[in-house]
Amino acid sequence: MTRFDPARFDGANSAWLPPEPARPTEPTGSTAGEAYPYGAGRADPHGAGHADPHGAGHADPYGAGRANDGRPGDGRPFPDHTRQGSPPENDAAREFPPPGPQGHGPARRAAPLGTGPSTDASPRSGAWRRAVDAMLGRRASVTEVRRQNLHDRITQPVTGDYRIALLSLKGGVGKTTVTVGLGSVLASLRGDNVVAVDANPDFGTLGERVPRQTTSTVRDLLAARPYIRSYADVRLHTSQSSSRLEVVAGERDPAASEAFTDRDYRAVVETLCTHYGIVLTDCGTGIMHSAMDGVLSLAHALVLVSSPAVDGARSAAATLDWLGLHGYAHLVERTVVVVSANRPGAASIDMEELTRHFLARCRAVVVIPFDEHLAEGSVVELDRLRPRTRDAFVELAAMMADDFPAAGGRHAVPAAPDGLRAW
């Protein structure tokens, strides 16, 4: 029996109009309000409110932001059996690329240390999150604000280069460990190159705290200096850790390293400063060593490492006294004292009193707590540190970075002595 639509009754002629021919149906699978994937601007054949067969929140298999032109967002063509503008013969046979991870993009490596978001314009960047928080009226927590502040301080630009010397008159207080920890944080968060050089004449172990990629030492770098023309040439003499920190290892022969003079150190630093934004120097315990004059003359700032013990504190105070009496009072003002705990348990002296004592003479004091990973004396990996230890190194890096803007133009690397330049 033919059914007539009451809306098609012709009252003027008192006659029924024939029914309209059936419209061709569109393939199923589109959700309400979603653009039809086989042609731009197609209406949803199921009408508003049609249920999504895949369930609410089903991920778009082509990735977020698919263009409404019948092609996936990454520009790949449809399979051969599917043509744009016409439905496939068998909708069940339509091929889709395998679903990717959340966000439909390549996985991004999380910002190390949790110090803050990356600064790019991706949806996961800090700028995007702050914009969303502002629209939603959400206020950042105190922890988030602090981490972002530390991140912004550490990533401040450096004019030219910045040189940090790490000193200690007493061995075994963790000076080399602090060098690697500080350099690793700077290298992991900044975009420029960061290098640490071993200037310890007494069998320095800086090269053992990163994965060894070369047998070259600082003496080999000095010998190759006439042939160095690019960063790739310098890179042949450095080993790089997972944090991007590069290390120039010290000479393994104590007799050879003892011959490392002030002139040699200045030549090495002049070579490194051409290709690295930040240069850290792991010095020996002998402050009267011949290379120390070059180290102190070229340093923008000092890190004085001490232990939380009476003898360590006395050695650090004696170092500050010596610096002030030998023309380096300006470095004392820019010195950060690091108290490194080399054993578990409470300190043998009053830490608050010790902090007040050094703050009266130096710029800042940072306490690095005991950490089992650092106590191993092997390769340092930031992701294996305890959160408190990582936070302490981040705080140290931020304090050192506070001096970056003021150091611009303070002094440049002096020219090498006559006859030292090979070009």
Number of Cβ atoms within 10 Å of the Cβ of 414: 12
- Please report, for the chain, the start and end positions of each structural domain, with discontinuous segments joined by +: 112-151, 158-407
Q: What is the DSSP letter of 384?
A: G
* Average pLDDT, integer, range 406-410: 69
DSSP string, 91-102: GGG---PPP-ST
Residue 212 has pLDDT above 80, yes or no: yes
Q: What is the pLDDT of residue 128?
A: 67
pLDDT in tens, 325-344: 999 999 999 999 999 987 78
> In this model, does residue 126 exceed pLDDT 90?
no
What is the chain's length? 423
The C-alpha angle with vertex 281 and arms to 275 and 287, in degrees rounded to 5, equals 145
- Residue-level pLDDT at 198: 93
Rounded Cα distance, 202 and 200, in Å: 5
Q: Which pLDDT belongs to residue 89?
A: 44
Q: Is 70 exceeded by the pLDDT of residue 363?
A: yes
CATH number belonging to domain 158-407: 3.40.50.300
Residue 290: which pLDDT band, with cuts at 50, 70 and 90?
confident
219: nearest Cα among 194, 165, 256 = 256
With tokens 């090269």, the residue in question is: 207
Instruction: For residue 152, give the nearest of 407, 334, 404 by alpha carbon.
Output: 404
**Mean per-residue pLDDT over the chain, rounded:** 74
pLDDT band, very low/low/confident/very high, at 280 (cuts 50, 70, 90): very high
Lowest-pLDDT choice from 146-150, 250-254, 418-422: 418-422
Of residues 207 and 7, more confidently modeled: 207
pLDDT of residue 52 exceeding 50, the answer is no
In the numeric block, which tokens belong to residue 380? Answer: 């340092």
Q: Tell me whether strands 301-306 and 162-167 are parallel, antiparallel or unpaired.
A: parallel
pLDDT band at 173 (very low <50, low <70, confident <90, very high): confident
In one letter, which amino acid is 358?
Answer: F
